[in-house]
Amino acid sequence: MSGESQSAMIASLVMRSLNPTNSGAAGSPYFNNLNFSLVGNPMNPNGGLFERFVGLSLPSLGIEMYGATPDNAFPTKIFTIEYDGAADFPRYPINVLADLNAFMGIQSLHGQYATLTPSSLLQLFR
């Protein structure tokens, strides 16, 4: 299963509901082959905006900060562009300059995932 941005959040929530420790589907042959590839994930366990502010709720905007993508039995790859404020938010939100940089990154970088090619992704691993 793959997802980008909000779709990555949906995939993360699916991971929670299909967790092998609490799901009866663990015996399914398809279940054992399930893996996740997420890009620009706001629930990134190391810096996602929804992970940094877990528990915050903005009901007027329909936003719930769900927390991090679960670390369970499913093989998961999360790809993030550095300084993308949605998927790579600063660890210390009290740093105003880092916050401004993150918000600029949301506007300028978060939409760039669709333009990545397989060859540009391969250069990340060299």
User: What is the tens place of the pLDDT at every residue in 48-84?
Assistant: 999 999 999 999 998 899 999 998 888 999 989 999 9
Residue 96 neighbours by CB distance under 10 Å: 9
pLDDT at 118: 80
Helices within the chain (DSSP H only): 6-17, 49-52, 96-108, 118-123
| pLDDT tops 60 at residue 26 | no
| pLDDT tops 70 at residue 36 | yes
- Computed over every residue of the chain, the mean pLDDT equals 87
pLDDT at 21: 66
Label residue 28 by pLDDT band (50, 70, 90): low
pLDDT at 49: 93
Non-local (6+) Cβ contacts of 56 within 8 A are 65
pLDDT at 20: 66
| pLDDT tens-digit readout, 95-117 | 999 999 999 999 999 999 888 88
Structure tokens at 46: 């190391």
pTM for the complete prediction? Answer: 0.83
Catalytic residues: 5
Cβ–Cβ < 8 Å for 16, 56: no
